[in-house]
Structure 1
Amino acid sequence: MKDWLRKHPEVRTIRVAAADLNGQARGKRIPARFAENVVKNGTRFPFSVLNLDIWGEDIDDSPLVFEQGDQDGVLKPTERGFMPMPWLEAPTALLPIWMFRENGTPYEGDPRHALRAVVDRYKAKGLTPVCAMELEFFLIDDSGKSLQVPPSPRSGKRRKASETLSIRALDAFDTFFTDLYDACEAMDIPADTSTSETGLGQFEVNLMHCDDALRAADDAWLFKMLVKGLARRHGFAASFMAKPYPEYSGSGLHTHFSVLDAKGENIFDSGGPKGTAVLRHAVAGCLNAMHDSTLIFAPHANSYERLVPGKHAPTAISWGYENRTASIRIPAGSPSARRIEHRIAGGDVNPYLMLAAILGAALNGIEDAQEPAAPITGNAYAMEGLPQIPESWEAAIEAFDSSDTLSRFLPKELIRNYVLTKRQELHYLAELTPEEQVELYLDTV
């Protein structure tokens, strides 16, 4: 880490940042000449900082604040190390950090540690999850009273229609996407294919598969930070909020994953199109935990505007082969690449919690040899009798709080903190108009 700064003497300041439960970056600005001390000794801020609400306010009834004296945790650099922040004007480095207790044990309220604990369970069985993510987002001109697509830097025109897989739409913002890919290269974020999507000014960028789930979640977290920051530098906004426009489809964050054994072989690969029994067990685990963990996949009030039947976001708890109306899809292709696509999450999620919930649930299914219901064929939205995810934010909070399943893969302290956070947000969001809610979520998530 020290070598990176020596190779980049132009860097004047650093940011140290950890992800809170909402995926917000919380941390400090430090002059570069004091960076060595942070690398060696870490930094400190209260445990409660990783448990703030979406506005950045303390949780009123959190035991972390007054009851425990608002004690400090110790934050240490992750294995990611320093990286540039290309969306800022001055040369600046970001150092991702995560939280520990004074005695060196991981703080269980840190979402990155929650994912680490799930990955450790896989490692104990000689297994390695391989993950890839597809992140959708909107480019938005929010300078006026209503949101609209930004004018193209090339033509100056606004295309006020969805342009699915349109090369023209991509070319209209070529300068932005060129800078974005250059920045991903500088930050070592494995950005692959980009496409235009069905929403107004909506795009998707795929991140390449990675056999380190922590790094995959880091990539997604950093990518969201980069896209939002770089868009502002280009004169418009980028948002991963689930549903900025009522009349258009929302943004999802689809996750593909497979699992390798100690020999590096895909345990979902049967040599044919259906996959192994272990794949079915993992599918069953994901399905059985989906209702109770919806709050992670849809963490905000706006999230439930996206989860509407028939709007390209699955609402039924179901699975199928090559079926995008199901919440779990098994893609076609080479048997060696057989994998599970988890399709519930919106773009507004915390990637660490999302991966912990998906991989933790899948491992439960594998350990218990759970069997799913038969895979569906046809339109899941039109099928009667399929179990459904919670229809409202409030119902999702209650399901999350009362679940017996989640405690198998999420720490009790994190579950408690997350419920307290969401109940406080539920209370105060009720005081906002729909326009104020959009303004709140546009930049934060």
Structure 2
Amino acid sequence: MNLGDHPDIRTIRVAAADLNGVARGKRLPRRTAESAISSGTRFPLSVLNLDIWGEDIDDSPLVFESGDPDGVARATERGFLPMPWLNAPTALLPLWMFREDGTPFAGDPRHALAAVLDRFAARGLTPVVGTELEFYVIDDTGPRLRVPPSPRSGKRRQGAEILSLRALDAFDNFFTDIYDGCEDMNIPADTAISEAGIGQFEVNLSHETAMKAADDAWLFKLLVRGIARKHGFAASFMAKPYEDYSGNGMHVHVSVLDAEGRNIFDDGGPQGSDALRHAVAGCLAAMPGSTLVFFPHATSYDRLVPDSHAPTSVGWGYENRTVALRVPAGAPAARRIEHRVAGGDVNPYLMLAAILGGVLAGLEDAVEPPPPVTGNAYAQDLPQLPGTWAEAIDAFDSCPQVARIFPRELVSNFVATKRQELHYVAELSEREKVDLYLDTV
């Protein structure tokens, strides 16, 4: 978006994703736009390491110990983007953080993904990623959460309607605004469907290079939440807003191209190549330690219910939706891994760093995975993911596979963040937890 072509833009926002994926930034007058691009914007480094309430982390080395120094937040390659959910014409400039000497700030989740992608590039490889994002539309104005009334009929849906056109059409203006916003923001929104929960929908984002896919997912969540509020209701990606209905996931499809643009997972047949199996093995090895990335919040673990299409075990299989890693059928040239673990409440940059870091470790080590799972994975004796937030925090802190993927500074910052949240969330009621996470994640 060239601001010169949009004289109606009155203000700009500059923002980066913190470790929770929350946008942290500033509102600036339009006249400062050129400076924001050329010189960056100064933020305290600690801004990218706040808890879910936006509070500093107790005893963080980024705060009092070091004097709470500034970093320089510079524009990403995305440039200015419209913010169609605001009334006044406004542009958003996505940022990522650097230290004063120009080196990347290791505590920035976007830099964590960039470091993994640099390692792929050194091997002449390029990951390609597509995402599937589930969310609920919710009327949160009363004492309990409900599906909003349809703007078309004024009625509320009484039950789930999987792949229902009627459910989609009930919110046609909302989805039209989402797709228009995606077009303006260069987000490759593809198919939209109604899902298994009341007021639950899924939108697929087409395959892109990995950093573009992470940016797209982060921006899509901002867009959807903003457009929903403009229409008078909420849209939430929290892992499980309703006890009795399906949770929100974010499935990720991954393939890897070589320097000639060939899919290294394709061997011409349905089983896929040695590289596919090695990538699967690496993902499985990194999965338990990365659980905190895939389930980062107190309510994330509410989604881990057996027989609910939310994987609880460490396994893989062909065309099997009960496992954590599914290898879909289809044309060999499109052979890929579907990573089905993460909830909708993740930070997309950390999520893709964890997944692709596991893929890369598998390619580097060239190890074979266990046999693929056939049948219902929930009914089989498979290694289990950490089942509680506290267990996931400890696993992330000590896991050697995590240490291969993420810099120690980020690991320490994320663990300190989650331990602080674990302490204070324990004081909240269930409704207070919903109020905390509904719009933030």
Q: Paired residue for 1:278?
A: 275
Q: Paired residue for 2:240?
A: 243
Q: Paired residue for 2:433?
A: 437
Per-residue CA distance 1:356-391 (angstroms, 9 max, x = gap):
00000110000000211000100001112x000001
Q: Does residue 343 of structure 1 match 2:343?
A: no
SS of corresponding position for 2:364: helix
Q: Paired residue for 1:368?
A: 365
SS of corresponding position for 2:169: helix
Q: Paired residue for 1:188?
A: 186
Aligned identity (percent) is 71
2: CA distance, partners of 1:184 / 1:122: 28
Q: Does residue 148 of structure 1 match 2:150?
A: no
Q: Does residue 252 of structure 1 match 2:249?
A: yes
- Give the 5 Å matches for 1:392-407: 392-407=388-403
2: CA distance, partners of 1:308 / 1:388: 13
User: What is the letter of the counterpart of residue 28 of structure 1?
Assistant: K
Q: Does residue 25 of structure 1 match 2:23?
A: yes
Q: Which portions of structure 1, spanning 4 or more consecutive aligned residues, are displaced by more than 4 angstroms?
A: none
2: CA distance, partners of 1:311 / 1:200: 15
Q: Paired residue for 1:353?
A: 350
1:199 to 177, 182, 197: 197
SS of corresponding position for 1:206: strand
1:322 to 319, 324, 336: 319
Per-residue CA distance 1:182-224 (angstroms, 9 max, x = gap):
11001110000000000110000000001x2111100000000
- Give the 5 Å matches for 1:13-162: 13-162=11-160
1:292 to 281, 289, 293: 289
2: CA distance, partners of 1:370 / 1:292: 18
User: What is the letter of the counterpart of residue 145 of structure 1?
Assistant: P
Give, in angstroms, the shift of residue 402 of structure 1: 1.2
Per-residue CA distance 1:78-137 (angstroms, 9 max, x = gap):
000001000000000000000001111100000000000000000000000000000000
Give, in angstroms, the shift of residue 404 of structure 1: 1.3
SS of corresponding position for 2:439: helix
2:228 to 228, 231, 238: 231
SS of corresponding position for 1:164: coil
2: CA distance, partners of 1:179 / 1:128: 33
1: CA distance, partners of 2:189 / 2:262: 25
1: CA distance, partners of 2:76 / 2:202: 27
2: CA distance, partners of 1:92 / 1:48: 26
Give, in angstroms, the shift of residue 306 of structure 1: 0.2
1: CA distance, partners of 2:323 / 2:59: 38
User: What is the letter of the counterpart of residue 217 of structure 2?
Assistant: A
Which structure 1 segments of 5+ residues have no match? none
Which structure 2 segments of 5+ residues have no match? none
Q: Does residue 215 of structure 1 match 2:191?
A: no
Give, in angstroms, the shift of residue 160 of structure 1: 2.0
SS of corresponding position for 1:370: coil
User: What is the letter of the counterpart of residue 143 of structure 1?
Assistant: T
2: CA distance, partners of 1:370 / 1:105: 34
Per-residue CA distance 1:147-204 (angstroms, 9 max, x = gap):
0000000000001211111010000000100111011001110000000000110000
SS of corresponding position for 1:405: helix
1:426 to 419, 422, 425: 422
2: CA distance, partners of 1:371 / 1:107: 35
Q: Paired residue for 1:391?
A: 387
2: CA distance, partners of 1:107 / 1:280: 34
User: What is the letter of the counterpart of residue 250 of structure 1?
Assistant: G
Q: Paired residue for 2:298?
A: 301
User: What is the letter of the counterpart of residue 82 of structure 1?
Assistant: F
Give, in angstroms, the shift of residue 307 of structure 1: 1.1
1: CA distance, partners of 2:229 / 2:286: 38
2: CA distance, partners of 1:77 / 1:289: 31
2: CA distance, partners of 1:104 / 1:34: 21
User: What is the letter of the counterpart of residue 440 of structure 1?
Assistant: L
User: What is the letter of the counterpart of residue 150 of structure 1?
Assistant: P
Q: Does residue 174 of structure 1 match 2:192?
A: no
Give, in angstroms, the shift of residue 23 of structure 1: 0.1
When the two chains are superposed, the root-mean-square deviation of aligned CA atoms in Å is 0.6
2: CA distance, partners of 1:288 / 1:119: 19
User: What is the letter of the counterpart of residue 153 of structure 1?
Assistant: P
2: CA distance, partners of 1:308 / 1:103: 47
2: CA distance, partners of 1:397 / 1:70: 25
1: CA distance, partners of 2:27 / 2:259: 42
Give, in angstroms, the shift of residue 21 of structure 1: 0.1
Give, in angstroms, the shift of residue 347 of structure 1: 0.2
